[in-house]
Structure 1
């Protein structure tokens, strides 16, 4: 099992402290074993992963807190347009997408820890600004900046797992980490509904400030550096000058990966659609379960903040998928490695195939049970099925990108995040108009049909992924 057919092993280059090109593997060989994160104790690795995951969860919670408080925001800041009322959520999602363009490459220049700390400190301060803002323009601007600052956890976390865990061990870690971008939004909906009902939307921002402030202190105390090239340079007592590692080249790396690597382009486009559907679902749940029917659509009219409980359908699906992937993904990967006597990122795609099949099934159940006004448990079950398929797909995608791009996986994941966040923001703004025009049944079916078009993607990656990754590309 010595053969390792990955992009990271034969195409990716890094730079030494003198600015010369060097193979990434040589840095790991030269690094003191005691400093190598791969050799840390299991408890130390999981403390690090838990803090990074908590950052990702809070960043995702920050997205949906204002989705359920949108009515209060609109009333307080005198917003009358449905599209404008969706902007505080949409621009936050955009920030989550654009932040990785600079945070990911900077983490490959200055280390993961510095980026995590500076970003989350900024996120905490920006939430204070959101709590005090008195006009809609100020709120929209601050929310965009908060999205930028919070994007370190959702983006760099996958690369941090690559720093800490060997491939045969990383499946469970990736499953745990995806709690952030997938379980965070429904948790934000549940908590946000009750906070908005009892304290108003500004207390949603204060709750987020308190949580992010506490987490920032914990990260200062317990979050060590994990990026091996940075640790290696620091251990030699030398600084990595911007001129030596190519500042412009580093900052443009995510976009170049997205445009010039076909495998990244294809997978990112599909995950962008899935992510967009997910956020559309998150921001339109108040339509189906909110206390007041809107746009002539049916509503279950859950009152007193209980409409936030509707997000538990998504949360349950994420939890089920998390448990399954946590206990089975590593074993499945090792079994394929043993069968084919090699290690390849494509061994992550069987789970991805399962996920892409489940996603449209859940969407059709959700849409048509809501359209026919059936018992509320049925659309929640559809949301559960959809979310479980989405999480399985997301975990497989993250694992594939980390395996394929090694030390530059942060930039590769950033490339994917940009596309999916742009699509997610568009879906947030247009989601209500979609259901207003087509209803729950056909509106959701349009999304289901789009998802069905992606069914062959995992098989094509299994068959042609290695060939696509072999395309020469200078990172």
Structure 2
């Protein structure tokens, strides 16, 4: 299971470099923000300062990528004045006073990136662990398949359908739940969906029917009296909330200069979820039975929910909307607003998110080849969860728990790839840059993908040629899991980076389609695994898969060599550039207006100060004249008194 960093894309900063020191990680390229370009204090805050704010506030990405959706500029030009209700009152969209705009100021305590480092680390740990649990549950099922086959008398192919339906549920759930955080915020969505996910584990643990378990693992319906594992499909759907939103939480709380480190640390747990699933599930099944793989997951889910309760809202648009609503209520002034107060229904947002990824997949040649290649690699990865038990349990006689240890080679490769991120970043920084923007070209990520493709092929072929006969030491095929795991990690992470760099503000949609397709392949390809390995033997079946990976090695190198020309012919990327130019012009005009307003305020303040000085001078002059007038009579009287005194003497 890859880390869907792309789901958290909410905008693109057209001024930010793809890979520049401190903020140029190839991992963070898949997540970009739009600078607020504001640092003036808003309304009840001071409006004197107008410096550009360096904090990244991530805009709503879900904008036009289909013919039925308009850009923000087009919509503003076409529509009459409308009103958006939020909190206690309503604010005008067409005539919003700039001085009443709510945004994050520098060092704003409400900005998640300004929270204490300890609390932000805790948030990162919680969402990483929750994602790990959801991903782990997808593969821990495979370790318990012998028990399911024995208890229900089913074939291995039928039993493997449980993995297929779970992955399909994750794919569909990601499309549906990703936009929910844009409407309700991340914390509420996490808490609700993970609670439902945990509750639906119970019928899976007590269910007596494998048929219901598999069928409703995705669809989630049957008679209430036949609760079996019927709700597991909904469980996968609701569990997808962590896949689609948790990387965005990492971006919310991590300062830009440390974003690459935050994403790398976060990725360790989710990327190792598929590897640790068979290991933990194998030992639990071996000593407690297959039902306890569900009970253990439920216990861990309870602890995870308790941890989620300690999290605050981290999604910047949600925080700003709440802040604007609070100010409107406290001041009884409807003019308070933020840039995310948009009039868009949940149904419309879902329509955009569900349609746009498939429009891109159907019309973009870049996505045709990238989706095919990444889906193939993803499917072969999930075939390992069929191949490893065949090799180590059936042929080498290992128990379910010990067989799970064989996946540690893949896990070690994942950790090595993640730990090499600083070196890879330095390598990418040396690649050619766009002469206009100064950013490293997306093709730099494609070059890293090519290295990952080679490593994956070596690992797959090496495992296939050494897994059998059993006279070959068991450590040899396990060691070949290291290049296999490292290569998969490079392909997934930097494949996402390439698409993010190529499609910019459309990256979330491009990557959402990629996620759905690879989940479908990853879920369906293992269905052919048992029959394929039984017919061809593990050596020849693995060799066939390895040769498929070898054949596809040129794909990332083609994008590295000719990616610029391919992107220049993309209709969607041309449309993207036009929209980015329009956004840049709009930001420039807004910045110019803010500067003019600041100059006027400074001039008014200077005139007011000069007037005060003149008034003070006039007052001082009048006081002096009055003092002189009063001193004359006093002097005369004193002289008279002195003269009278002399005469008396």
Shorter-chain TM-score bucket reads: 0.7 to 0.9
CA offsets 1:383-415 (integer angstroms, 9 cap, x no match):
222111101222213344455566765544332
RCO (CA 8 Å, sep 6+): is it higher in 1 or 2?
1
* 2:502–2:573 CA contact under 8 A, matched in 1: no
- Give the Å deviation of 1:218: 0.8
Structure 1 pair 68/167, CA: closer, same or farther in 2 (3 Å)?
same
1:310 corresponds to which residue?
Answer: 406
Q: What is the TM-score with the length of structure 1 in the denominator?
A: 0.85
The answer to whether structure 1 residue 323 and structure 2 residue 412 are counterparts is no
The answer to whether structure 1 residue 132 and structure 2 residue 235 are counterparts is no
Q: Write the distance in 2 (CA, Å) between the matches of 1:246 and 1:430.
A: 39
* 1:352–1:393 CA contact under 8 A, matched in 2: yes
Structure 1 residue runs without a partner (length 5+): 294-298
| 3-state SS of paired residue (2:418) | helix
Q: Write the distance in 2 (CA, Å) between the matches of 1:387 and 1:401.
A: 21
1:109 corresponds to which residue?
Answer: 183
| 3-state SS of paired residue (1:375) | coil
Matches within 5 A, 1:151-166: 151-165=240-254
Q: Write the distance in 2 (CA, Å) between the matches of 1:267 and 1:170.
A: 26
- Give the Å deviation of 1:250: 3.5
* 2:202–2:295 CA contact under 8 A, matched in 1: yes
Higher helix content, 1 or 2: 1
Matches within 5 A, 1:36-185: 36-38=111-113, 42-76=117-151, 78-140=152-214, 141=216, 142-165=231-254, 169-185=258-274
The answer to whether structure 1 residue 428 and structure 2 residue 526 are counterparts is yes
Query: Which structure has the bigger radius of gyration?
Result: 2
Residue range with higher mean Cα deviation, 147-156 or 456-465:
456-465
Residue range with higher mean Cα deviation, 217-226 or 162-171:
162-171
CA offsets 1:182-234 (integer angstroms, 9 cap, x no match):
310111111111100111011110111111121122112125322x3333333
2:226 corresponds to which residue?
Answer: none
The answer to whether structure 1 residue 448 and structure 2 residue 550 are counterparts is no
1:187 corresponds to which residue?
Answer: 276
Q: Write the distance in 1 (CA, Å) between the matches of 2:521 and 2:400.
A: 32
How many residues are paired up? 460
Structure 1 pair 183/220, CA: closer, same or farther in 2 (3 Å)?
same
Q: Write the distance in 2 (CA, Å) between the matches of 1:117 and 1:410.
A: 23
- Give the Å deviation of 1:96: 1.6
- Give the Å deviation of 1:420: 0.8
Q: Write the distance in 1 (CA, Å) between the matches of 2:183 and 2:303.
A: 27
- Give the Å deviation of 1:259: 3.1
Matches within 5 A, 1:131-280: 131-140=205-214, 141=216, 142-165=231-254, 169-226=258-315, 228-237=316-325, 242-243=344-345, 246-247=348-349, 248-280=351-383
Q: Write the distance in 1 (CA, Å) between the matches of 2:146 and 2:234.
A: 22
* 1:175–1:395 CA contact under 8 A, matched in 2: no
Structure 1 pair 2/148, CA: closer, same or farther in 2 (3 Å)?
closer
* 1:167–1:403 CA contact under 8 A, matched in 2: no
- Give the Å deviation of 1:137: 2.7
Structure 1 pair 171/404, CA: closer, same or farther in 2 (3 Å)?
farther
Q: Write the distance in 2 (CA, Å) between the matches of 1:244 and 1:150.
A: 20
Q: Write the distance in 2 (CA, Å) between the matches of 1:201 and 1:21.
A: 57
The answer to whether structure 1 residue 355 and structure 2 residue 458 are counterparts is no
- Give the Å deviation of 1:53: 1.7
The answer to whether structure 1 residue 385 and structure 2 residue 483 are counterparts is yes
* 1:155–1:414 CA contact under 8 A, matched in 2: no
Matches within 5 A, 1:269-308: 269-290=372-393, 293=394, 299-303=395-399, 305-308=401-404
Residue range with higher mean Cα deviation, 279-288 or 465-474:
465-474
Structure 1 pair 215/331, CA: closer, same or farther in 2 (3 Å)?
farther
Structure 1 pair 398/46, CA: closer, same or farther in 2 (3 Å)?
farther
Structure 1 pair 394/173, CA: closer, same or farther in 2 (3 Å)?
farther
Q: Write the distance in 2 (CA, Å) between the matches of 1:348 and 1:30.
A: 37
Q: Write the distance in 1 (CA, Å) between the matches of 2:559 and 2:286.
A: 47
Residue range with higher mean Cα deviation, 98-107 or 172-181:
172-181
